[in-house]
Structure 1
């Protein structure tokens, strides 16, 4: 652990201590209606940072493709495997035995190919009024054991996404500074407003823009559109394209190789702004 890299101001230490002192976990979804915008990477790096800060976090990979699970397995060794899969836990009406421990402060409910049967399960076992509340019900008993619970989901309107939003206190929307992502972000925020009929307490914490290329005119133009359209919802801290992050996707996050500290500092800036927004 690089103590200098992960040092916080007294203010941010205070926010972290507030999070740790809450009686139940803050529940967060990171999602948008476009794949490839870096949501699973952002969750993975946030989780890596939280381990350094001793924030106890549970990741829930609600995506049958298991992208987040694969990333986490490259960064941490399993300390204790879950005895049941995600879908088995859903069928058993409890996720308690679906939790895999990766670190003293990091746990994950792994993505499960069998989650592809969730729609069929819901139609067979749940009435239409309850199917969006399944995750909310299943994590209720887990909240007391963690500081944060973070959902990753598929980039489409689906039963997975609906359940994540209904179970969450906050949503962060990673996006890219280009046309399709911009249009999809508008659609996603409209969707979140519609979902308030099922969870009127969910708040949009912010939009995290990614620049796909350095010093690119199109990126700069769309970054300005985000600020013009969404105002303060758009994070001031942005994420620039980095080949180092691509390397981490293959080999896991490192702290002491070329450009590691520079790139991690960029994500740490986003994390600090995340703390600012939580505190407000």
Structure 2
């Protein structure tokens, strides 16, 4: 056990308390806390005490590669891009390394962070695997691979290309990106077409955003049918991370549709956290400011932090 892996473990398990673990492992003098603060290794004696305690909490299952999550729904305007952006920020605020991939030709995710796709974008690598993904930093823990309308042209070109549903998976596998990040979040377009299939085939799981109104709820079955196809024919044991209600308002319509989804899809996780409708989101996006910089203490910011913790739990 090395200190950087122990630090990562605590970041991936935010419910764990360092002081509590020290007490459980009978480590004296806040040695673990000091080692984490100074990035210095623990003594062999303290490591011997700490190891069985951390293993009991799942240390041996610590992922060696990034977890890739697609944010998906075939309906537009249901909070996919907002969720990708703010959830990515929330993970980064926990000290986790996050890569966002804008897989929507509208480029809204890129716009949110004020990132220019002209210098390089995901489409370049999907056409030519020899070109590395054009990663641009947002802050110390958060980066993005942007897109713009060029991606729409690429989607047309890929229709007759070999392995056209696995280009993004190949792009992620062709580099050390999996080791460089803890999470990769993919913002999918509002369809279940070729780009979304690329995202799902490249992912470990998918998070489905649902605006609790008729037009968004009706299409849920088609999403789950596609997920089953990916599992059956794509050689990918794709999991459903959960269903997240977005832009929620306090009214009987939203309440009834949320109840319907909970009953109809009870075998899947429905996130306890809900994202309320808020003008703060659109204001931050219009200004191309990171949401937590613009208004991190808002109800929406707190809710996305809770979603991040639910995923990590």
TM-score range for the pair, normalised by the shorter chain length: 0.7 to 0.9
**Does the aligned pair in 2 maintain the 1:133–1:166 contact within 8 Å?**
yes
Pairwise CA distance, 1:194: 1.8
Tell whether 2:198 aligns with 1:163. Answer: yes
**Does the aligned pair in 1 maintain the 2:188–2:195 contact within 8 Å?**
yes
Q: Which residue of 2 aligns with 1:24?
A: 65
Pairwise CA distance, 1:253: 4.1
Distance 1:38 1:118 in 2: 24
Match of 1:171, SS? Answer: strand
Q: Which residue of 1 aligns with 2:311?
A: 274
Runs of at least 5 residues in structure 2 that lack an aligned partner in the other structure: 1-12, 22-53
Superposed, 1:195-214 pairs within 5 Å as: 195-196=230-231, 197-213=233-249
Superposed, 1:1-280 pairs within 5 Å as: 8-10=14-16, 22-73=63-114, 84-123=120-159, 126-127=161-162, 130-140=163-173, 141=175, 142-196=177-231, 197-213=233-249, 215-231=250-266, 232-251=268-287, 252-253=289-290, 260-276=297-313
Match of 1:143, SS? Answer: helix
Change (3 A) 1:9 1:250: same
Distance 1:147 1:118 in 2: 28
Range moving further from structure 2, 101-110 or 246-255: 246-255
Pairwise CA distance, 1:199: 3.5
Distance 2:113 2:71 in 1: 16
Distance 1:239 1:86 in 2: 28
Pairwise CA distance, 1:121: 2.6
Q: Deviations over 1:145-189 (max 9, x none)?
A: 211111111111211011100110000001111111111122211
Change (3 A) 1:271 1:219: same
**Does the aligned pair in 2 maintain the 1:33–1:184 contact within 8 Å?**
yes
Match of 1:98, SS? Answer: coil
TM norm structure 2: 0.74
Change (3 A) 1:175 1:94: farther
Q: Which residue of 1 aligns with 2:45?
A: none
Distance 2:103 2:294 in 1: 32
Q: Which residue of 2 aligns with 1:3?
A: none
Q: Select the structure that is richer in strand.
A: 1
Range moving further from structure 2, 61-70 or 226-235: 226-235
Runs of at least 5 residues in structure 1 that lack an aligned partner in the other structure: 1-6
Length, aligned pairs only: 259
Range moving further from structure 2, 253-262 or 22-31: 253-262
Change (3 A) 1:253 1:131: closer
Match of 2:113, SS? Answer: helix
User: Rg: which structure is higher?
Assistant: 2
Change (3 A) 1:164 1:19: farther
TM norm structure 1: 0.82
Change (3 A) 1:132 1:91: closer
Q: Deviations over 1:220-279 (max 9, x none)?
A: 000100111111422122112122222222232455877833331122122211222xxx
